[in-house]
């Protein structure tokens, strides 16, 4: 086998496996062969060696990186040291996880060998790093601490390794080994102090963090831990005294300020000579009212920086500490203070003396006036307001003087206010709320004479008169109505029930509708007949006319007719209904008569007719009925029918007759023995029954003269046999005889006409023609002839000729002539191609013989089967 391996170069795994097994069995340097030969199967050979020599099996597995087999053989044979060294050298995280898992019962023995042997022997940093990482991953802090102590604390190659020192301290922190943490931070010197301190703080190891920071002279962070985490301001102050560095004092001052230790904070900032935090220091000093300490701090700040806020706050601090002399000296010297802003602050805080000095320094007379008012220096305040020349300043000083009872000074201010229209209402309200009515009126009266007086002053005074001195109101309105703002005065007058003044304003504002309405609704105070008539004719809302009529009917009925004569374009029907409802129609009779003469209105006519009935003026009623027919005749007839005067009943009969109610008319006339009226009514009715009834009435009442008159009047209506019967029965033949004579004459004439056939046909034909609408033309004695035109004869009158059956009617051009019926025995030519024909002389009505007829214009012609016939 050696020959084939060495001379032939056979690298077959089976050959190399056989060699390895023989070397192991005969113990011929098997370890060297296993380490140097790379061609055998390590798992096969290792398995072969397990029962013969476990160490050789370990070597075979190690060379072949057979992790699982190696761990198993070393565990089974107690080769923990070899396993530990292999783990460190292998640097495989998965293998470490498998070995360090809780399920591995050999874990502790392996860990012990790693800590005691394998890792201390290692000189490769990566092996150490990987091992530590594996312990951390397996969450073995105690074992990790032991491991790191072995590496770091003992004199080894990695004793001063920064990461390992950091890891040792961090592991002790996480394992909650406070005593060891304190020991480590004191012994070790190469760890990252700031990071370790932060981690210690995160685990509430504040003293340890402070120790670390102090050891490494991180003073700012150390004092921070003292004040922020340990909360020991006293120790922090002692520490600052000890190190005496500005940065420490600054940090301490910041935390003192946060804990409201303003005085201590200011002292610390002064020792730190730090002016950067002045906004916070100022705010804290303001809040705690430590202005004396603030003065010291701001004086220090001015030595370092120039800032308007610092100078302004120093001025304010002088004012708050009442160091007015220092204040005045400061603002008169070089400075960049915001005097206006500080003055406003002093004013708001009530330090008015300081504010007065500041405002006076910058000539702010408006704010100076306000300040002087607070100091009760009213004359000086008025002078300052005059220099300020500001409306707001005048208002403020006026109010203060008024509240203080300085009325003369208040008026001086107010005269400068009332000339501003926008400010007048507020001024008036203030005076009124204070109850100074007389002073206010006096002020407004003085304002009338001002050069720049505006309508608001006149309006305001009018309202004040309305409220407090109504006796002066009308005089003021009459003098200055053209300079008033009417709407405001309207409201005042209405609120104070001053109706006469309100109507006066509406009239002068040309709001006639409202003026009329006020006069109507408040007539006791505002109405007068003549002015009302002048107003009512100018209103736009015509409904007010009728309200006025109703108002007059209720309160001044005797003047209603005069009012109606004034109003134009009235709805007379509406007026009649309105007055009739009130029961005062007689009061407007004159008006009704005047309207009736120009307009035939039903309501007016009926109203007058009713008045005439009430007044029993039948002549006027008769005249009204005859001249004006637009009324309810039946209604009036019924009213007159029941009247006790016969003339009115006679009018009722006339009305019935006029409206074709003949029976009612006849009955009324019969009752009142107005036989002539009854006869006329019957004759006009044309009713035979009514006529015979009237004849019977006369006969039954033994009135032969009425009987004779009825026969004459109703001649065409009564029947001769009926008359003969009545006359003979009641022995009134003598009175009926004239009637029978007339009847006999009429019948004789009719018989004569029948016996003699000669009648006036032409005349009758002309009458028929006129009735039919045809125009008559000349009658031709002999029809004209048309040479060359064929003739037709022997056609009965009215017969329709069909050209299809009479081909000889075709004219020379091939067109048909019109088809007409011709009287027989007369030859009549047919016109060629035209729609006219001449009657041959024996035509029938309504055609006059010889007349030319245009068929296209005669709708009376008949059409049969598409052809026109004519008789």
Question: For residues 456 and 679, which has the higher predicted lDDT (pLDDT)?
Answer: 456
Give this prediction's pTM. 0.43
> Which carries the bigger pLDDT value, residue 571 or residue 851?
571
Q: CA-CA distance, 794 to 823, in Å (whole number)?
A: 7
Out of 209-223, 448-462, 766-780, which region has the weakest mean confidence (pLDDT)?
766-780
Mean pLDDT of 660-670: 78
Nearest Cα to 114, choosing from 129, 131, 98?
Answer: 131
pLDDT confidence of residue 773:
46
> Can you tell me the distance from the alpha carbon of 178 to that of 185, in angstroms, rounded to the nearest whole number?
11
Q: Helix and strand tally (H, E) in the chain?
A: 54, 6
- Six token digits for residue 466: 């309305």
| Residue 789 pLDDT exceeds 60 | no
Neighbours of 589 (CB within 10 A): 15
Nearest Cα to 366, choosing from 393, 401, 395, 339? 393
Per-position DSSP letters for 202-223, written without gaps between them: HTT-HHHHHHHHHHTT-HHHHH
Instruction: Encode pLDDT of 505-533 as tens digits.
Output: 888 888 888 888 888 888 888 788 888 88
Q: Whole-angstrom Cα distance, residue 851 to residue 373? A: 124
Ranking 155-169, 202-216, 671-685 by mean pLDDT, the lowest is 155-169
ω into residue 844 within 30 of 0, thus cis? no
User: Half-sphere exposure (CA, 13 Å, Cβ side) for 448?
Assistant: 15
Name the token pair of 431.
């005076």
Residue 7 and residue 31 in contact, taking contact as beta carbons nearer than 8 Å: no
Handedness of CA 782, 783, 789, 794 (dihedral sign): negative
Predicted confidence at residue 369, as pLDDT, reads 92
In whole angstroms, give the CA distance from residue 66 to residue 4: 28
pLDDT at position 700 over 60: yes
Residue 837 pLDDT exceeds 50: no
Q: Of 309, 308, 346, whose CA–CA distance to 327 is shortest?
A: 346
Query: What are the C-alpha distances in Å from 509 to residues 85, 421, 517, 541, 544?
Result: 119, 21, 14, 16, 18
Mean pLDDT computed over 158-162: 56
* pLDDT at 191 (0 to 100): 58
Positive or negative torsion for Cα 368, 373, 374, 380? positive
For residues 449-464, give the mean pLDDT: 84
100-154 pLDDT, tens per residue? 888 888 888 877 777 777 667 766 667 667 766 777 777 766 666 666 666 655 5
DSSP string, 352-413: HHHHHHHHHHTT-HHHHHHHHHHTT-HHHHHHHHHHHT-HHHHHHHHHHHHHTT-HHHHHHH
For the beta carbon of residue 190, count every other beta carbon within 10 angstroms.
14
**How high is the mean pLDDT of the chain?**
76
Percentage of the residues of the chain whose pLDDT score is greater than 70: 76
The answer on pLDDT for 670 being more than 50 is: yes
Whether residue 314 is predicted with pLDDT greater than 50 in this model: the reply is: yes
Query: Using alpha carbons only, what angle is made at residue 360 by residues 358 and 364, rounded to the nearest 5 degrees?
Result: 95
Q: Residue 453 carries which DSSP code?
A: -
CA distance 394 to 443: 15
688-700 vs 675-685: helix crossing angle, rounded to 10: 160
Question: pLDDT (tens digit, 9 = 90+) per residue, 581-616?
Answer: 877 778 777 877 888 888 888 878 888 777 777 777
The pLDDT of residue 461 is above 80 = yes
Mean pLDDT, residues 169-174 taken together: 60
> Residue 262 in contact with residue 290, Cβ under 8 Å?
yes
Largest CA distance in the chain: 199
Token reading at 328: 């005045």
Distances (CA, A) of 220 to 232, 268, 862: 15, 14, 136
Q: What percent of the chain has pLDDT over 90?
A: 3
Q: Is the pLDDT of residue 347 over 50?
A: yes
Structure tokens that stand for 281 in this block: 């220091």
pLDDT tier for residue 237 given thresholds of 50, 70 and 90: confident
Give the integer Cα–Cα distance in Å for 842 and 798. 12
Mean local confidence (pLDDT), 684-700: 80
Per-residue model confidence (pLDDT) at position 850: 56
What is each CA distance from 160 to 112, 123, 145, 153, 198, in whole angstroms?
A: 23, 14, 16, 9, 21
CA distances from 529 to 51, 295, 539, 578, 764 (A): 149, 86, 16, 20, 76
Tell me the average pLDDT across 167-185: 60
Instruction: Scan for tokens 């005097």, then name that residue.
Output: 339
**What's the half-sphere exposure (Cβ side, CA atoms, 13 Å) at 259?**
15
Please say whether the beta carbons of 413 and 394 come within 8 A. yes
DSSP state of 833: S
The DSSP annotation for 102-123 comes to TT-TTHHHHHHHIIIIIHHH--
pLDDT in tens, 377-394: 989 999 999 998 889 999
CB 110 within 8 A of CB 83: yes
Q: Where are the alpha helices (DSSP H) in 556-674?
A: 560-566, 572-582, 589-598, 602-615, 618-627, 633-641, 646-658, 662-671
Residue 802's nearest CA partner among 790, 789, 814, 818 is 818
Which has more confidence, 552 or 794? 552
Q: C-alpha angle with apex 389: 383 to 390, nearest 5 degrees?
A: 115
Of 296, 324, 321, which is closest to residue 310 (Cα–Cα)? 296
**439 close to 407: Cβ distance less than 8 angstroms:** yes
The whole-number pLDDT of residue 157 equals: 52
């Amino acid at each position: 086998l050696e020959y084939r391996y060495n001379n032939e170069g056979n690298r077959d795994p089976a050959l190399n496996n056989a060699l390895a097994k023989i070397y192991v069995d005969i113990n011929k340097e098997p370890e060297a062969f296993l380490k140097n030969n790379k061609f055998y199967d390590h798992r096969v050979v290792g398995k072969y060696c397990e029962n013969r020599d476990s160490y050789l099996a370990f070597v075979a597995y190690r060379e072949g990186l057979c992790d699982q087999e190696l761990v198993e053989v070393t565990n089974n044979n107690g080769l923990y040291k070899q396993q530990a060294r292999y783990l460190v050298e292998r640097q495989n995280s998965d293998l470490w996880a498998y070995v360090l898992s809780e399920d591995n019962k050999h874990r502790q023995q392996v860990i012990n060998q790693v800590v005691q042997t394998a890792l201390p022997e290692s000189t490769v940093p990566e092996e150490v790093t990987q091992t530590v990482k594996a312990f951390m991953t397996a969450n073995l802090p105690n074992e990790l601490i032991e491991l790191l102590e072995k590496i770091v604390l003992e004199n080894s190659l990695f004793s001063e390794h920064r990461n390992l020192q950091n890891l040792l301290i961090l592991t002790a922190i996480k394992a909650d080994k406070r005593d060891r943490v304190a020991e480590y931070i004191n012994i070790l010197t190469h760890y990252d102090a700031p990071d370790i301190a932060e981690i210690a703080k995160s685990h509430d190891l504040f003293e340890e963090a402070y120790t670390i920071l102090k050891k490494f002279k991180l003073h700012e962070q150390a004092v921070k831990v003292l004040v922020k985490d340990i909360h020991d301001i006293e120790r922090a102050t002692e520490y600052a005294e000890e190190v005496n560095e500005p940065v420490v004092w600054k940090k301490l001052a910041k935390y003192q300020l946060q804990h409201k230790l303003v005085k201590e904070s200011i002292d610390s900032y002064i020792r730190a000579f730090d002016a950067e935090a002045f906004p916070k220091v100022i705010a804290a000093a303001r809040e705690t009212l430590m202005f004396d300490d603030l003065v010291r701090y701001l004086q220090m700040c001015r030595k370092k920086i120039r800032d308007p806020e610092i100078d302004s706050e120093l001025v304010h601090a002088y004012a708050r500490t009442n160091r007015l002399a220092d204040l005045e000296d400061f603002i008169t010297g070089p400075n960049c203070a915001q005097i206006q802003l500080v003055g406003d602050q002093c004013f708001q805080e009530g330090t008015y003396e300081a504010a007065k000095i500041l405002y006076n320094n910058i000539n702010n007379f408006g704010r100076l006036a306000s300040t002087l008012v607070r100091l009760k220096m009213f004359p000086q305040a008025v002078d300052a307001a005059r220099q300020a020349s500001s409306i707001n300043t005048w208002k403020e000083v006026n109010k203060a003087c008024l509240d203080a009872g300085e009325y003369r000074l208040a008026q001086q201010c107010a005269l400068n206010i009332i000339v501003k229209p926008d400010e007048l209402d507020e001024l008036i309200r203030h005076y009124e709320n204070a109850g100074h009515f007389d002073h206010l009126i006096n002020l407004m009266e003085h304002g009338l004479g001002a050069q720049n007086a505006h309508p608001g002053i006149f309006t305001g005074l009018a309202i004040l008169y309305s409220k407090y001195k109504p006796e002066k109101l009308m005089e003021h309105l009459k003098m200055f109505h053209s300079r008033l703002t009417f709407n405001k005065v309207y409201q005042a007058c209405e609120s104070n029930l001053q109706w006469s003044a309100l109507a006066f304003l509406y009239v002068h504002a040309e709001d006639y509708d409202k003026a009329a309405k006020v006069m109507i609704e408040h007539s006791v105070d505002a109405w007068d007949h003549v002015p009302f008539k002048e107003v009512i004719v100018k209103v736009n809302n015509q409904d007010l006319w009728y309200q006025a009529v109703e108002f007059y009917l209720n309160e001044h009925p005797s003047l209603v007719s005069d009012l109606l004569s004034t109003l134009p374009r009235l709805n007379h029907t509406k007026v009649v209904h309105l007055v009739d409802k009130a029961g005062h129609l007689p009061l407007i009779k004159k008006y009704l008569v005047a309207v009736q003469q120009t307009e035939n209105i039903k309501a007016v006519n009926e109203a007058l007719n009713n008045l005439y009935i009430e007044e029993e003026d039948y002549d006027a009623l008769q005249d009204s009925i005859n001249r004006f027919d637009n009324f309810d005749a039946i209604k009036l007839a019924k009213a007159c029918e029941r009247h006790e005067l016969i003339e009115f009943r006679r009018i009722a009969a006339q009305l019935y007759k006029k409206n074709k109610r003949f029976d009612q008319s006849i009955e009324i006339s019969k009752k009142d023995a107005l036989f002539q009226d009854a006869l006329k009514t019957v004759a006009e009715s044309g009713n035979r029954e009514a006529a015979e009834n009237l004849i019977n009435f006369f006969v039954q009442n033994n009135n032969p003269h009425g009987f004779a008159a009825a026969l004459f009047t109703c001649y065409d209506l009564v029947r001769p046999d009926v008359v003969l019967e009545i006359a003979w029965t009641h022995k009134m033949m003598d009175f009926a005889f004239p009637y029978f004579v007339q009847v006999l004459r009429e019948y004789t004439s009719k018989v004569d006409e029948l016996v003699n056939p000669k009648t006036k046909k032409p005349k009758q034909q002309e009458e028929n023609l006129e009735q039919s609408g045809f125009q008559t033309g000349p009658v031709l004695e002999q029809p004209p002839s048309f040479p060359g035109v064929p003739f037709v004869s022997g056609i009965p009158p009215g017969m329709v000729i069909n050209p299809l059956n009479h081909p000889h009617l075709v004219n020379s051009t091939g067109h048909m002539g019109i088809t007409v019926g011709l009287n027989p025995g007369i030859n009549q030519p047919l016109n060629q191609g035209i729609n006219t024909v001449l009657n041959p002389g024996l035509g029938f009505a309504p055609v006059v013989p010889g007349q030319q007829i245009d068929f296209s214009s005669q709708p009376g012609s008949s059409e049969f089967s598409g052809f026109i016939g004519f008789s």
